[in-house]
Amino acid sequence: MKITPTKTPFIVKKLFPDYVWEISTKKKELYLTFDDGPTPDITHWVLDTLKPFNAKATFFCIGNNVTKHPEIFSQIVNEGHSIGNHTHNHIKGWNTETEQYLGNVSIAEKVIASQMRQPTPVDLFRPPYGQIKPNQGKKLMALGYKIVMWDVLSFDWDNTVSNQECLNHVISKSKNGSIVVFHDSIKASNNMKYALPKVLEHFTEKGFSFKSISSIDTLE
């Protein structure tokens, strides 16, 4: 049984107004995001699936995975997608002392920066598991990070969720400006590979486009 809701409740967004939960827009735009990569084969598959729809996405990368798979990371960047920091070792903020947490984010930041084509800072951050202490969030924002959460969870990683349920979560809950969470990971690959093409097809037919998140978006 899922404890976390598919769609983030309004009250949660109001409790943490400095975090980015969705993009304010009246346009038919969705913001697909992918956590936990880059991952061999799976991230390639995601990129190949996005391409025919001219869909841009945001990849919240684990620093250690960037270190292990720099060529996949470079492909993400070269194909025009946005990059976010997802810590170096996918650590849980609630179980980690603040200074250790910030240090882990900093290691990932250095790894990501070393692989970027241009010295543009990566200032988007998503906490693994959505777990971040208020003090951790405040200190990261003081360092210039925009903390990007979500409006809709696909639950692609949850093996108690069927692939059809995963698809239905996204189709039934997404709206203009929704930030949607998928994962380009082995654990999530079965559900994600079923749902993603159908999400792209469904919303394209409804006139939506798929955008990556930028710092400008988070300030609007």
- Which residues are annotated as catalytic? 35, 183
The span from the CA of 191 to the CA of 187, in Å, is: 9
The two structure tokens encoding residue 17: 């107004």
Listed residue (168, 177, 71, 76) closest to 122, CA to CA: 76
The span from the CA of 52 to the CA of 95, in Å, is: 41
The two structure tokens encoding residue 18: 């400095």
The torsion angles phi and psi of 19, rounded to 5 degrees, stand at: -90, 155
209, 31 contact by CB (below 8 A): no
DSSP annotation string for 2-66: --S-SB--HHHHHHSTTSB-B---SSSEEEEEEES---TTHHHHHHHHHGGGT---EEEE-HHHH
In sequence order, what are the residues at sequence separation of 6 or more whose Cβ sits closer than 8 angstroms to the Cβ of residue 142? none
